Structure 1
Amino acid sequence: MSEIKKVVLAYSGGLDTSVILKWLQDVYKCEVVTFTADIGQGEELEPARKKALAMGISAENIFIDDLREEFVRDFVFPMFRANAIYEGEYLLGTSIARPLIAKRQIEIANLTGADAVSHGATGKGNDQVRFELGYYALKPDVKVIAPWREWDLLSREKLLAYAEKHGIDITKKKDGGSPYSMDANLLHISYEGQVLEDPAKEPEEDMWLWSVSPEKAPDQAEYLELEYERGDVVAINGVRLSPAQVLAQLNSIGGKHGIGRLDLVENRYVGMKSRGCYETPGGTILLKAHRAIESITLDREVAHLKDELMPRYAKLIYTGYWWAPERKMLQTMIDASQESVSGTVRLKLYKGNVIVVGRDSRKSLFDANIATFEDDGGAYNQADAAGFIKLNALRMRIAAKLGQR
């Protein structure tokens, strides 16, 4: 422990990381640098600065960084080019934020001369893996301090008692705060714990913060037009926006229509099953629209190959391998496929549903002259299909004759 001279702590200013800050000072006797990332969680971050100052952290050792644009541009959008979903449903909202936080922590460690980094992830979850794989990929010799794997403060009651003993200010929210363990960023908000630990029980309606229930959504559908350039949305209803602005606006519109709620039991990387609920209104819209624009701009075999590789890509992100060479290799292929993915998609949003009602592109591979049910003027010779079918049926005909013998 005496070997650690300076540590960069991923710090939110909440109960866990405030206790960790004091614990690092007392147990490791080292200088602490705090890093708070603004990735669109919607919380006021300046109180974290004040709390860090009150706990003896010098002003030059407090970093509060606005990473919203980088988060969406360099992490969320590349992931959506792949149409990535984990286990058929999860849009990876927590997973995709961790490599960015790890990256900035390492950058701050290099900037401040720190020899260690620390996080507040528990020893039961995926985040410890995601953070630490990122640390080691970006700074192989960095020392990692994971307090939840070292201390005996393994309950909220013990954390509160430690905070009270050491005079750590834990300001409670006026409404008492949420009983759930939550994580939020521009892509999603997640809920775990409490009643959700019983997968048979329905979540309480007042748990959801970003979306209305589909039953209470407007009775009038809303139409939305998204413009794509090389696989990324660049404009909504004709208005060009930055990546973070795109996602924020889609969250607001989608939440109003009850879009993006998910109740999921997922398989964690560490081996256990976990029940969580998620709100991802903007991401749900993005996934539906992206597949729609790809449907007319991607070659069939390219599209099918992407779909075959997508589960592997999604698993790499879920399990923390964003910085691994295999993810980078897949990303290069995916980004190459998006060169022609430009155009517009028209959507109808109605009571929890995202309905594609139109798609158009100057790079469309859809040829109405060939696809028509009317007279195509000889563009397609239907008689050619007979030989095509017989050749593809040949192996099955041979096997069937063998069986008849």
Structure 2
Amino acid sequence: LAYSGGLDTSIILKWLQEKYDAEVIAYTADIGQKINKKKIVKNAKALGIKRIIIEDLKDLFVKEYVYPMIRGHAMYEGIYLLGTSIARPLIAKRQIAIAKKHDAYAVSHGSTGKGNDQIRFELSYHYFGPKIKIIAPWRIWKLSSRTDLIKYAKKNKIPIPKDKKGAPPFSVDDNLYHTSTEGKVLENPKKTAPEFIFQRTTSPEKAPNKASYVTIGFKNGDPITVNGKKLSPGN
């Protein structure tokens, strides 16, 4: 299972064990998202998982996936960075490699049955491991709403994340390339997005009055230095 450590994939961990009487491998790809490795391991173990794999893929992700996107000026409608989209094939590729190594008969993901992420995962699964079964819980189980998930989590003593106000948090997908936030007030286009959800930027009102200059060095279209200092792709 592609495991983020969040509510949805924690529920899927439990559900896969119940539904298929399966030994599940929890796999987390570190591609630069905010990640608490100790918490991921703790949550997975609490759900009965014995094998937990966390891989650092930051350099690989940037070098082989993000850089080609930058060279191609790839953006949705000229605005939206495709960080979530481009991360899925890499995660799926590593899942298949691990499934083959451990002789697993299936791979699974936590994408819903109405979005594009399920397609990105599954086309990659088919390409890299055409003989390995795909389990897409959101298209199988009877949990059809956030309320159903909460009930299932409470029943199985799965921790339910909450924000500082005690409410369910925004749904966030982030990596080194971008951060995508959805849910709650963002579902209403009339509402202004609250400032606190922006994790990488500062509003002009709160920005320094004096500008700073950054020099980026490129080679064959890929950034390799910042202010004259050579850095790895992940840095």
Whole-Å Cα distance in 2 between the matches of residues 174 and 202 of structure 1? 20
* 1:230 aligned onto 2:197: no
Whole-Å Cα distance in 2 between the matches of residues 39 and 175 of structure 1? 29
Q: What code does the residue aligned with 1:54 have?
A: A
1:213-228 maps to which residues of 2 (within 5 A)?
A: 213-228=203-218
Whole-Å Cα distance in 1 between the matches of residues 6 and 34 of structure 2? 14
What whole-Å deviation, never above 9, does each CA across 1:157-201 have from its counterpart, x for those lacking one? 211211221232345466647632110111111111212212232
The corresponding residue for 1:162 is: 152
The corresponding residue for 1:47 is: 39
The corresponding residue for 2:3 is: 11
Whole-Å Cα distance in 2 between the matches of residues 12 and 90 of structure 1? 23
| Comparing 174-183 and 189-198, the one that deviates more | 174-183
Sort the Cα spacing of 1:36 and 1:200 in 2 relative to 1 into closer, same or farther, 3 A.
same
* 1:110 aligned onto 2:110: no
Report the Cα offset of residue 209 of structure 1.
2.0
Q: What code does the residue aligned with 1:32 have?
A: V
* 1:209 aligned onto 2:216: no
Larger Rg belongs to: 1
3-state SS of paired residue (1:31)? coil
Sort the Cα spacing of 1:151 and 1:178 in 2 relative to 1 into closer, same or farther, 3 A.
closer
CA contact (8 A) 1:38 1:45 kept: no
Q: What code does the residue aligned with 2:23 have?
A: E
CA contact (8 A) 1:227 1:234 kept: yes
CA contact (8 A) 2:28 2:55 kept: yes
* 1:24 aligned onto 2:16: yes
* 1:73 aligned onto 2:63: yes
The corresponding residue for 2:88 is: 98
Could you state the TM-score of these two structures normalised by the residue count of structure 2? 0.94
Sort the Cα spacing of 1:82 and 1:177 in 2 relative to 1 into closer, same or farther, 3 A.
farther
Whole-Å Cα distance in 1 between the matches of residues 122 and 151 of structure 2? 28
Q: What code does the residue aligned with 1:23 have?
A: W
* 1:135 aligned onto 2:122: no
Query: Quick check: which one's helix share is greater?
Result: 1
3-state SS of paired residue (1:117)? strand
The corresponding residue for 2:76 is: 86
Sort the Cα spacing of 1:91 and 1:148 in 2 relative to 1 into closer, same or farther, 3 A.
same
CA contact (8 A) 1:195 1:203 kept: yes
Report the Cα offset of residue 102 of structure 1.
0.6
Q: Aligned pair count?
A: 235
After the TM superposition, which segments of 4 or more aligned residues of structure 1 sit over 3 Å from their partners?
Answer: 169-179
Report the Cα offset of residue 51 of structure 1.
1.8
3-state SS of paired residue (2:172)? strand
What whole-Å deviation, never above 9, does each CA across 1:57-85 have from its counterpart, x for those lacking one? 22xx2111111111111110121111111
Sort the Cα spacing of 1:197 and 1:171 in 2 relative to 1 into closer, same or farther, 3 A.
closer
Whole-Å Cα distance in 1 between the matches of residues 200 and 140 of structure 2? 36
Q: What code does the residue aligned with 1:27 have?
A: K
Whole-Å Cα distance in 1 between the matches of residues 57 and 138 of structure 2? 26
Q: Which runs of 5+ in 2 are unaligned?
A: none
CA contact (8 A) 1:120 1:147 kept: yes
Sort the Cα spacing of 1:89 and 1:151 in 2 relative to 1 into closer, same or farther, 3 A.
same
CA contact (8 A) 2:162 2:168 kept: no
Report the Cα offset of residue 131 of structure 1.
0.6
CA contact (8 A) 2:163 2:169 kept: no
* 1:147 aligned onto 2:137: yes
3-state SS of paired residue (1:10)? coil
Could you state the TM-score of these two structures normalised by the residue count of structure 1? 0.56
Q: What code does the residue aligned with 2:171 have?
A: S
Sort the Cα spacing of 1:179 and 1:50 in 2 relative to 1 into closer, same or farther, 3 A.
closer
Per chain length, whose mean CA-contact separation is higher, i.e. which structure has more relative contact order (CA < 8 Å, sep 6+)? 2
The corresponding residue for 1:200 is: 190
Q: What code does the residue aligned with 1:146 have?
A: A
Whole-Å Cα distance in 2 between the matches of residues 53 and 166 of structure 1? 14
What whole-Å deviation, never above 9, does each CA across 1:72-112 have from its counterpart, x for those lacking one? 11110121111111212112111111111111111110111
